[in-house]
A and B are shown apart, each in its own frame.
Chain A
Amino acid sequence: MMAKYVIEIGEVSKVKLHGHIDASVAPEIMEELRELVGKDIQTLVLYADELEYIASAGIRAIVFIKQKLGANIDVYLCGASDTVIDVFKMTGIDRFLIIQDTFEG
């Protein structure tokens, strides 16, 4: 199956979040993120420049993967709009992410 969200699995793994991530599509993302569990990952980059909307179901998927990958890995959230960042802040998840415009590395 072609991945819709995960674009690279490796030491630096990359996920492209896009469109509307609501409760109706979050299970798809969750499914793809499960692929990352148990892999040797140091950094997870979430590209969000094309993410229009994220609901708690999407946030849950991110909390899930962060918990599974362990506290020591860095999770970047890149290019998210103000309204998307607002949701991460309201749920207090922003503290576990490195929020910036772009990822270089």
Chain B
Amino acid sequence: MLKDMIFFADMKKLPYMLDTIMQEVTQYVSDKKLLNRLKLCCEEILANIIDYAYTEKQGNIYVSCEYFADKHSLQFVFADEGTPYDPLAQKCTVDLEAGIEERPIGGLGIFLYTTIMDKVEYKYMSQKNHLILEKNLPREVLVKPRKKIAILMESDFYEPEIEYYSNCFNDAGFEVHFLSRLWGNDSLTFHGHEERKAFQCSESFEFIEDRELREYAAVIIPAGYTADRLRYTEDINKLPPACVFLQRCFHDKHMLKGIICHGAWLMAPIHELVKGRKMVVHNNLLGDAQLMGIDYVDEDVVVDADLVSARSGGEHQAFAQKIIALLKTEQ
């Protein structure tokens, strides 16, 4: 997935830039040493742009970070609108054997990123300096593919849908986790809407740490009354915990968000997250969708980047299969 970032070239913003870029890199790389080396490369390049590209005027730094699964390589592109300058034109070897007295103070940064990266290229195009860097990633440094699927649960769920999810994601090689608010209990038993079928839920979305959240490939707000029950809050000044959890999920662009039927109810307190997004909702929720600013699309299943939606509970098979297909292409 391509992620473009734009930063104002200011040395005070350097730690923020690095954090933002590294958040993207940690989607692919888990090896600590390599992460540190890649951060080092990014920092050297950013610091150079800040120091030298914009001496006359202020400007931006454009960064993209993309993983090519076919080549097992991670590509960084750094661009700026400063004076045309090829940092690779100068000799950037550092004599590691030289005594400390002979070690030049400059040139270390370029030396580091040309040494660490497998490919470094400079191009001047569209009035911008482009530095394109590639790092091959052996399997052992890669983040393990996300294997978990979160399905929010509460009473009055739609039985055929939940039964289908329990099986179809497992069959596709994923691990299904039904998450709810457990109110301090080890588990709660919920009942279905049509046949009052019992379902024991023993996992909560309230205490999932960021590290664990990154193991989730998708989160689904199912049909039925689950969404309405989960949007209960005992403190009217606080968001329902399910919405807090969803905010974190929406923040993670690498996690698919699935909303089906009346699931969109749960987005009302955090509707800024779906504002302007292409979605379909249950016909009963057309007015709600309008109020939330959803860009309604009249189709059974709708995909908008990391957001998949389906019209009604009856569409659960097509909805789940669409999510599986999207996850398979991502991997």
Contact = CB atoms under 8 A, between A and B. Distances in A.
22 contacts: A22-B43, A23-B44, A23-B47, A23-B51, A55-B44, A56-B40, A56-B109, A57-B47, A57-B109, A63-B100, A63-B103, A64-B105, A66-B100, A71-B99, A83-B33, A86-B37, A87-B36, A90-B37, A92-B94, A92-B97, A92-B98, A96-B100
B141 to A, nearest CB: 14
Interface in A60-76: 60, 63-64, 66-67, 71
B112 A92 contact: no
Contact of B100 (A53, A56, A60, A67): A67
Nearest to B35: A83
Nearest to B116: A90
A71 B101 contact: yes
B200 interface: no
Nearest to A97: B100
Interface string B232-268: 0000000000000000000000000000000000000
Given A22-B15, A22-B18, A55-B43, A63 B36 contact: no
B258 to A, nearest CB: 38
A63 B94 CA distance: 13
B190 interface: no
Interface in B70-95: 94
B57 interface: no
A23 B101 contact: no
Given A56-B40, A56-B44, A63-B100, A24 B108 contact: no
A71 B101 CA distance: 8
Interface of B: 11-12, 14-15, 18, 32-33, 36-37, 39-40, 43-44, 46-47, 50-51, 94, 96-101, 103, 105-106, 108-109, 111-112, 115-116
Given A23-B47, A86-B37, A91 B108 contact: yes
A16 B44 CA distance: 23
A104 interface: no
B15 A20 contact: yes
Q: Which of A20, A56, A64 counts the most B-chain CB atoms under 10 A from its CB? A: A56
B292 to A, nearest CB: 40
Interface in A29-71: 53, 55-57, 59-60, 63-64, 66-67, 71
A86 B33 contact: yes
Given A22-B14, A60-B108, A53 B33 contact: no
B7 to A, nearest CB: 13
